[in-house]
Structure formats: C-alpha cells, structure tokens
Structure 1
Amino acid sequence: MPIYMDFHDLPDGVSAKHVAEMHQADLEIEHKYNCRGLTYWCDEKRQTAFCLIEAPNQQAVLDLHQNSHGAVPQRIIEVNDTIVESFLGRIEDPKKSKNTSLNIINDPAFRTIMVVKLKHKVLRTSSYDILNAAIRGYTTSIKTLTSEFHGRLVRQESNTFLISFDSVTDAMQCGVKIQEVHNCVITPDLEFKIGISGGVPVAKSEGLFEDTIKISDYLSDIVNGDFSITEDVRDLYEGENQNISIPENKAIRVLSSTDVDFMTHLMAYTESAWSQTTTNVNDFEESLGFSKSKLYRTMMHLVGKPPNIFLREYRLNKALGLLEKQRSNISEIAYQTGFSSPAYFSKCFHKKYGILPSNMYTS
C-alpha cells in the first residue's frame, strides 16, 4: 500500500500533547479505513504537524482524520518510506517515555538541507587521474564529516551530495569543516561549492523536501561564492548559538529572501527554456519582469555572470553531462542543449573546458 505524509497547520494553543491525543484517536479507528498510522512529527514552535500514514489512497487519509478528530490536513503527498527515514531519521513512533501513558512526540520535522557539489573547471586529459583521486578523497571526507556532525547522507549522485541535518548548527559546522578540507588541498581544476537552506517536508511541491532541496541545489550551483546559505539559516544558527554570528572569516555568503526569490524565479524560467535555440536574454527580461540594466546588475550581484554567459554555461553544463554518458553524437547534443550549430557548440565548449567535445569520447 502507498505511504502518505500530510501537513497540518496547527491553531494557536495546540500543544504536542494535543497532537499526541489526535494521533492516538487515529490509531483507534484506522482499521475502518484500511489505514495504518506509522508516526508523526510535531513542532510546537512553528505550530505544524506532519503525519506518516499507510493508506490505500489520499481520500482514506482525509476520511480517517475527519472522523477521528476532525483536523483535516492542508496538504497530502505520497512518499517513499526509505527516503522519509533518510531525511527524518525514523518512520515509526519512537519508544514511549517511561511512566507516561501517552506517547508525546515534540519532534520537529524541520530539517537543514546541505548540497555539496564538485565540478570540473577544465577537462584536461592529463589531470583526470589526479582529479578523480582528489574527488575520491573528498567523498570519503564528506561522508566522515556528515556522520561526525550527526547528518544523514540522503543521496549521492555523481559528485553531488545531498545531506540532511536536524540541527542548523551541525549543518553549518559540517559545511565549514568540509570547506576547510577542500582549502587544504590544491585542486585548481576542481570547483567545490556548498549550499544550505532549511524547510519542512511537505510544502508546495509534490516531492518530500523538494522546495528546500531546490534552494540548496541552486545555492551550490549558480550563486557566486563557494559557500552560500539563506538568511533564515543564518538567523536560526544565531538563535541556536546565543546570537553568535556565523564565522565571518569563512567567506560564507548569506542570501536575503529577495535574492532567494529572484534565484528561484531565474532557475524556474531557465529550466523551462534553456534547450530552445531561440531563447535569449530578452526572454529572461520579459519572464522576470526586469529591465535590461536591472537584470544585468542583479545577475552580476548574485551569479557573478551576465545573463548571456549564464545561459551559455548552463547549456554547456547540460551538454557535458550528455557527453559523459556518451549516448548521443556531438551534433545531436549541440541541438538538444540549445546551440544553433555544432560548430558554435564546439567553440564554446572548448573555450570553457579546454578541450573539444569530440575529445570527450577518447579521454
């Protein structure tokens, strides 16, 4: 049977004890709806609760809540239990505390999400072995530090790491240590970037923590700087550490909510239009509602690149991924990634990576 996670926006005054009573009410009649309540998370501070329920469909979840306690969730998504455990650490109720008849769980589902990315700046064949050895070393260090700072490695794809932390402080300290490891080793042909944001498992998107993951991914991908966090993460860090500021000497860039909104809109449009050969800077201006000069200034401030260079390098990065899989010929890849001709694509690729795309098949 599918597993669902729902989101409840709790009214003022509702405590963890009240949520525990609601959970117990669900368990008492769940058999009537062919459901099985697995566990829940309650955050008194943020006034939110999230239930994890095995059920035949979403309507069964709604009917169960409606008839057990009347608190209908604002949102329900289907989830994978393994992924839930990777992010949140459990998929069942924790053991009851001693000497209590009601299992009160005041355990927030809010998580701090870190994305670490390692990218080749150039593709010199002579340096492949050295870079790959360095990447293996970094991978070991990232996994070791993740465990040391109580994080959970949710996913590793290629040279991208997605990590979940219960504590903002643990995430920040882990990020600083990972950055220090990179700074101790000279790898000029390797780009090493970290992005950290925080959020809840069920929001606007369909996937678990999808909105938060996207922000962390963008921070570690397009923002000008090696270590970027959101303003919310900074504030939470200072709140956890008695208003002690983040380490200023670590070159950590903090993005305001305005910057995050722009970045999100920029990437939403880019991801929808990058493969079309007709897409150009004018389209970005129209989609984002910015004048040419304002878009240029904003892009240089946030990304460190003008719009035309940003779009070209985004396409080149997509092309690199296709070339590494070696499933299409160069002409096909050129057109698939929005370039007007294979010749122009090869020229741009060589300028950025130092080799022609045709050499990717022989390296």
Structure 2
Amino acid sequence: MPIYMDRHEIPDEIKPEHVARMHQEDLKVQHLYGCRGITYWCDSERHTAFCLIEAPNKEAIQRMHNHAHGTLPHHIIEVDTRVVESFLGRIEDPEKSANSELNIIDDPAFRVIMVLHTAEHLHRMEANQLSIFSQKFHRSIAKSIRHFEGSIVQENDKVYLVSFRSVTNAVLCALKILENFKYLFPKVESEFQRLQIGIASGTPVTDQEEIFHESVTKAYQMAEFVKDQIVITTAVKAQYENENRNAIIDPVCIRVLTPNEEIFLGALLSFARKHWNGPKFNIGLMSKMLGYSRSQLYRKIRKLTGKAPNTFIREYRLNKALELLRHQKGNISEIAFESGFSSAPYFTKCFQSTFHILPS
C-alpha cells in the first residue's frame, strides 16, 4: 500500500500531549479504514503536526481522522519512506520513556534545505584530472556535511541536496565547503572553481504534491541561477540571527535574497520553463508577461544572475540542450532546433563558447 504524509494546523492551545492522545485515538480505529499509523512529528512552536500513514488512499486517512478525533488534515501527499527518512531522520516513533504511559513526540518536521551546485566546467577536465579532483572534492563535501550533522538526500557529480535541523549548521557548513573548495586545487583555473549553494527552509507538506517542494525548489533556483556563491532566503537569515543572538550574516560572504527578489526569481524561472524552446522566448514577451519595462527587467535580471537578459535566455536554452544531449534525445541538429536555435552551426558556436566543448 502507498505511504502518505499529511499536515495538520493545530491551534495554540493544543500541546504535544494533546497531539499524542489524538494519535492514540487514530491507532484505535485505523483498522476500520485499512490504515496503519507509522509515526508523526509535532512542532509546538510553529503549531503544525505531520502524520506518516500507510493507507489505501487519501480518503481513508480523512475518514480515519474524522472518526478518531474529528480533526481533518489540511493537505495529504504520497511519499517515499526512504526520502522521508533522508529529510527527517526517522520513519518510526522515537523510543518512549519507561516511566511514561503516553509517547509524547515534540519533534519538529521543519528542516533547512541546502542545494550545492557545481559548475559545468568541473566536468570538462581531462579524465585523469577529473578523477583525482572528484574524489577529493566529494570526500571534502561529505566530511563537512557529517561534521555539521547534515543528511544527504540526493547526490550526483553535479548536485547535492542536503537536509539540516539547524539553520546555523547549514550556514556554517556552506561556508566551510566553500572555504575548502577554494583551496582544494589552487592551481586549477578560476573558471573551474565555481561552486554555488542555495539555502532555504520549510516544512515537508505544503500545498504541493512533493515533500519539501517549496524549500527544495527555492534552494535549487538560488544555487543554479543567482550569481553569488552562497545565497539564502530572508527567512533563513532571520532564523540564523535568532539562533545566534550576537551574530549577523556577512553580506560579503552570503547573499540574502529579499522577499521581492525571491518572488521575481520564481516568476522568471516559471516563465522560462514554459517558453524556453518557443520562438517568442525573448525580452519582449518576458517583459510583457512579468509586468516590467525592458529597462526594469534588464536591471533585475542583471542584479540577480549577473547576466544580461539575452545571455540568460541563451544559456537557459543551452543548459536544456545539454540535458537533451546527455539523455540522447536526438542528434545535434534536432536538439538545436528543439532548444529554440535557428540553425545548428549557430547552436554549436554558442555551445562551445559557453561550455568550452563541442556538442559532439
């Protein structure tokens, strides 16, 4: 049977003890609806609770909760328990005290999400140099993540997705990784020394259909498209300074996106995803759809990405083309036209200029 996670918004007066009793009531009637309550997370500070339940469908979960205590979840998503454990660290109840009749779980599901994104140039070196570099690079990252108590959710040669309980640990880990990276290979050309990190925070179930969707999406967007090497949201900045009363985020080392910049980045990339391979993926349509003048759009994109709008558009298309080439979705001419380029020779010229290698 599928596994689901639901989200409950709990009133201020409801304490972890009340949530534990509600969970017990669920367990008493779960068999009537073919469900099996696995565990839950309760966050008394943010007034949320999240239940992990095996069930035939979402409706069975709603009926079980309604029968047990009348409190319906605000949203339910299907999840993979391996992914849940990677993000949250457990998929079963913590061990209860021997002296306690009720297993009260006051364990927040709030997490800080870090995405580490390496430049394409890292994968353009000679094979022997790449092998040596990759081994040291990945060992260094894994060591830093363990030191700062992070949990690797996903990883490959290009991207790490990491979950932290502590904002402080996430920020310090990012700084340490960047410090190690800069001095790992001092003789490597500066264009190879590109590493970008995005940090966002949030809870596992929002109004989307994937676990930690909003915070993961924000972290990916910041790591991949914002020009600065470490980028965090305004919420992460506030949480860091709340955890460290006498500390502030150094703007020289870390870029903090304003709420308006976060909204603009999301809107820009949503537009790009819809129109990237169409003939009207240009500044004119972008300006019209996003509601800015050409000059405003130029300034905003330049400040955020470090690129002019035309360069952003071209490189967005080239990165999509690179994905198509990697997955062998066609020959070079087919992928050139699929990516919105008017000719294969021009596509090849742009590709080589950006990635320092021929598409072939």
> Are positions 1:344 and 2:346 aligned together?
yes
Give the conservation status (yes or no) of the 8 Å contact 1:111–1:198: yes
**Is the partner of 1:220 in helix, strand or coil?**
helix
Give the alignment's TM-score, normalised by structure 2.
0.95
After superposing the two structures, state which structure 1 stretch, 273-282 or 255-264, moved more.
273-282
Give the conservation status (yes or no) of the 8 Å contact 1:204–1:211: no
Of the three residues 179, 196, 200, the one matched with 1:197 is 200
CA distance in 1 between counterparts of 2:199 and 2:45 reads 22
CA distance in 1 between counterparts of 2:281 and 2:170 reads 38
Partner of 1:79: 79
CA distance in 2 between counterparts of 1:123 and 1:19 reads 50
CA distance in 2 between counterparts of 1:201 and 1:102 reads 25
Partner of 2:225: 222
> Are positions 1:289 and 2:291 aligned together?
yes
Equivalent positions of 1:1-363 (< 5 A) are 1-121=1-121, 127-184=126-183, 185-186=185-186, 187=188, 188-190=190-192, 191-247=194-250, 251-358=253-360
Gaps of 5+ in 2: none
Name the aligned partner's letter for residue 135 of structure 2.
R
Give the conservation status (yes or no) of the 8 Å contact 1:87–1:154: yes
Give the conservation status (yes or no) of the 8 Å contact 1:123–1:354: no
Cα deviation, residue 281, structure 1: 1.2
Give the conservation status (yes or no) of the 8 Å contact 2:352–2:359: yes
**Is the partner of 1:270 in helix, strand or coil?**
helix
**Is the partner of 2:119 in helix, strand or coil?**
strand
Cα deviation, residue 243, structure 1: 4.0
Give the conservation status (yes or no) of the 8 Å contact 2:123–2:130: no
Give the conservation status (yes or no) of the 8 Å contact 2:227–2:305: yes
1:88-118 CA-partner distances (Å, limit 9, x unpaired)? 0111111112311111111110100000011
CA distance in 2 between counterparts of 1:235 and 1:98 reads 38
Name the aligned partner's letter for residue 111 of structure 1.
R
Cα deviation, residue 227, structure 1: 0.7
After superposing the two structures, state which structure 1 stretch, 45-54 or 185-194, moved more.
185-194
Cα deviation, residue 343, structure 1: 1.5
CA distance in 2 between counterparts of 1:135 and 1:222 reads 23
Give the conservation status (yes or no) of the 8 Å contact 1:42–1:105: yes
CA distance in 2 between counterparts of 1:79 and 1:150 reads 24
Cα deviation, residue 124, structure 1: 5.7
**Is the partner of 1:73 in helix, strand or coil?**
coil
Give the alignment's TM-score, normalised by structure 1.
0.94
Cα deviation, residue 349, structure 1: 1.2
Q: Cα 1:91–1:124, aligned 2, differ >3 Å: closer, same or farther?
A: closer
Cα deviation, residue 353, structure 1: 2.3
1:166-198 CA-partner distances (Å, limit 9, x unpaired)? 111111111111011111133323221111000
After superposing the two structures, state which structure 1 stretch, 227-236 or 114-123, moved more.
114-123
**Is the partner of 2:224 in helix, strand or coil?**
coil
CA distance in 1 between counterparts of 2:323 and 2:138 reads 20
Aligned residues: 356
How well do the aligned residues superpose, as a CA RMSD in angstroms?
1.6
CA distance in 2 between counterparts of 1:49 and 1:286 reads 42
Gaps of 5+ in 1: 359-363
